Amino acid sequence: MDQRPRRLRKTPVVRELIAETRLSRNMFIYPYFVTHGKKYVQPIKAMPGINHFSIDELIKDVDHGLKHGVNKIVLFGVGEEKTKDAASAFSKNSIVAKAVTELKKEFKDDLYVITDVCVCAYTTHGHCGIIHNNYVHNDKSVEVLAKMALSHAQAGADMVAPSDMMDGRVGAMRSLLDDKGFENTAILSYAVKFASAYYGPFREAADSSPQTGDRKRYQMDFRNGNEALKEALLDEQQGADILMVKPALAYLDVIRNLKQSTLLPIACYNVSGEYSMVKAASKQGLIDEQKIVMENMCAFARAGADIIITYHAKDILQKQWL
* Interface positions with ligand PBG (CB under 6 A): 116, 118, 120, 128, 163-164, 199, 202-203, 208, 271-272
Give least dist CB 120 to Zn ion, A. Answer: 3
Q: In the set 74, 96, 103, 118, which binds Zn ion (CB under 5 A)?
A: 118
- 3-class SS of residue 12: helix
| Whole-Å CA distances, 276 to 21, 95, 228, 296 | 25, 26, 25, 14
116 binds, among Zn ion, ligand PBG, none (CB under 5 to 8 A by kind): ligand PBG
Q: Which does 203 bind (CB under 5 to 8 A by kind): Zn ion, ligand PBG, none?
A: ligand PBG
Residue 242 in contact with Zn ion, rule: CB under 5 A: no
Q: What span, in angstroms and rounded, lies between the C-alpha atoms of 115 and 122?
A: 15
Nearest residue (beta carbon) to ligand PBG: 202
Q: Out of Zn ion, ligand PBG, none, which partner does residue 271 contact, by CB within 5 to 8 A per kind? A: ligand PBG
Give me the least distance between CB of 247 and ligand PBG, in Å please.
7
DSSP secondary structure letter of residue 221: P
Q: How far apart are CA 70 and CA 103, in angstroms?
A: 14
| In the chain, beta strands by DSSP E | 28-35, 41-43, 51-54, 72-77, 112-117, 130-132, 135-137, 159-162, 186-193, 242-246, 266-270, 307-310
Q: Which is nearer to ligand PBG, 78 or 266 (CB)?
A: 78
Query: Is 27 one of the binding residues for Zn ion (CB under 5 A)?
Result: no
Among 47, 74, 120, 267, binds Zn ion (CB under 5 A): 120
Residue type, 82: K
Among the listed residues 56, 49, 66, 65, the one whose alpha carbon sits nearest the alpha carbon of residue 34: 56
The DSSP string of 90-147 is H-TT-HHHHHHHHHHHHHGGGSEEEEEE-STTTBTT--SSEEETTEEEHHHHHHHHHH
- Residue 82: DSSP 8-state: P
Task: Tell the smallest beta-carbon distance from residue 9 to ligand PBG (Å).
Answer: 43
What is the smallest separation between the CB atom of 217 and ligand PBG, expressed in angstroms?
13
Distances (CA, A) of 125 to 36, 195, 289: 21, 17, 37
Residue 278 binding target from ligand PBG, Zn ion, none, CB below 5 to 8 Å by type: none
Q: Which of Zn ion, ligand PBG, none is residue 300 near (CB under 5 to 8 Å by kind)?
A: none
Q: Confirm whether 246 is a catalytic residue.
A: yes
58 binds, among Zn ion, ligand PBG, none (CB under 5 to 8 A by kind): none
Given the complex with ligand PBG, which of 102 and 164 has the nearer CB atom?
164
**Shorter beta-carbon distance to ligand PBG: residue 238 or 272:** 272
Q: Which is nearer to ligand PBG, 261 or 282 (CB)?
A: 282
Q: How far apart are the first and last CA of the chain?
A: 40
Q: Is residue 128 close enough to count as binding Zn ion by CB under 5 A?
A: yes
Choice among 72, 246, 279, 314 that is catalytic: 246
31 cis-preceded (ω within 30 degrees of 0) = no
| Angle, vertex CA 162, rays to CA 78 and CA 239, nearest 5 | 160
Smallest distance from Zn ion to CB 89, Å: 10
Nearer to ligand PBG, 183 or 227 (CB): 227
Nearer to ligand PBG, 49 or 181 (CB): 49
Least Å distance, CB 154 to ligand PBG, is: 21
CA distance 317 to 24: 10
Query: Beta-carbon neighbour count of residue 284 at 10 Å?
Result: 8
Query: Which member of 72, 193, 279, 314 is catalytic?
Result: 193
Task: Catalog residues that contact Zn ion under the rule CB under 5 A.
Answer: 118, 120, 128
- Catalytic positions are 193, 246
